[in-house]
A and B are shown apart, each in its own frame.
Chain A
Amino acid sequence: MASHPPVPDESSSANPSSSLPAPGWQGIASDWSSDREAFKQVPWGKAMMWIFLLSDTFIFTCFLIGYMSVRMTITTPWPNPSEVFALTIGGKDIPLILIAIMTFVLISSSGTMAMAVNFAYRRDRAKTTALMLATAALGATFVGMQAFEWSKLIAEGVRPWGNPMGAAQFGASFFMITGFHGLHVSLGVVYLSIVALKVLRGDYERSGNYQIVEIAGLYWHFVDLVWVFIFAFFYLW
């Protein structure tokens, strides 16, 4: 073929990245009917993380629906979560206190993560690293408290195959769902720590590409969001 003209003709010549994108549905339609990228200005890694999170959402949804379906169909009574997850502090049973603290810790870590992303785009490496490590530390605290919760329940005789309080599926669902979520948090702690150290070392200075921090943040916010649903459907139901 002969040499190509540098600019493609017809409809594809309208390059939205050079002009302001149209608002609303028109903008979406023009982005999706354009060439090269469907999501303008979105780096590959970020697009891929969003798609992965969508897939992961389906995993957690299946876990939760499976658990709810089992819980609704069994004939033996389900243990009362507010009693099972109560802690005795100062001689008084406080229902769900540990879970409340865990939830608070995890949601706070989303706050520190959001601040880290903000400072990353301002290229404040020290603050970004500190906030990311703080996020990871909060995450580690969450996993630590979860380990405490697990060992307390195990000490009380809760096993995946049975428990003294009621339906055997209680323990099975509990260990499976919180375990799968805890695994996500633990992996997130490792992931955040690695990215934090890379920020500190200045790995992203050369390309000026601090979107890596935001991508890690996406994962972390997702893990927090999933916890809200687990909290609602497992502990509050």
Chain B
Amino acid sequence: MDLAYSPRQQAFRQEVREWLAAHAPAERLVTLERKDGFDQHVAWERELASGNWGMVTWPTEYGGRGLDLIEWLIFEEEYWAAGAPLRANQNGIFLLGPTIMEFGSDEQKTRFLPPMARGEVIWAQAWSEPGAGSDMAAIKTTARRDGDHYVINGQKTWSSRASFADWGFGLFRTEEGSQRHKGLSFLLFDLNAPGITRRPIRQLHGDPGFAELFFDDVRVPVGNRIAGEGEGWKVAMATAGFERGLMLRSPGRFQATAARLVALLREAGDNASPGLREEVVRLWMGAQAYAYNTYQVAARIMAGGSIGAEASLNKIFWSELDRAMHRAAMHLLGPAAELQTLPDGRANEWLEGYIFSLSGPIYAGSNEIQRNITAERLLGLPRVGAG
């Protein structure tokens, strides 16, 4: 165990800090759940890419810097401390990118990864269907083989970023009559392909962050399939692991929220009840614990280990921590909590954040599913009702 950053890591931190100080937007961007805000966030992705900061852990030939997970954590810490924007590119760089890296062919890596790192192609997820939410193996949307193409028919829903994104990835039933997790394949598709209709869904906050996707004889080249035909479930489970696991939510984000929450508590002064005070201190402790845990997992992965069902513990922890931090802020704000713009003229980021935090325990596999996974795969409790 060595809890000191090396001189190289310290120099890297300094480099990140200086670049962000010079380049991060001074003004808060419009929410990326709206077209104008989405465009602002994509512009920021391209600014990041211009400094070669798109995804620092990727190999240089794909647009990364070839750095390790500790350096990624340092980058993320500086990123969130600088108050830099949310990542429009998140589905690509944190979920699909690692999936292509693990399962894609060399041709697919060359074709898809560099434009992803440059923020030129923004990716949407397409997992859920009207009848397949938590029970993802109930997917019905078909991709029928026709020569060197698949022909997709069906419907996806809750597709994150799909209102404005360029490409999508998801699971489709490529074997006719197949059941459950068999006969599925992992396909990449152009969201502007003929036969795709996007219907934006107005979310809780009023903006159209995700969308329904309707597929009507959409032709997708076989070369857009990741891994073998029928191997989609295995690939999707790996993607879900990235999502729940290390990459999607780096601790820096929650530590930044915790620090802002402590500042809000100080502003509230004696108005904060002792219970709320203790809650804020507990939440700061939680953010620290999440960071320590992530550093442990990162060190384990760097030493050749992997993250398995433990990713479910992570997902439960950060999503409920995030919700609790924003809830505490709502209580601290008191009557101002309901205002979209605070009396001092600032946007009420806590309200926006609280609404967003309510989605955390639902997406990427609901926390009920994560608790099942924890109980069955980590604790060894029996499965009932699922064979």
A interacts with B: no
User: Which B residues fall within an 8 A CB radius of A?
Assistant: none
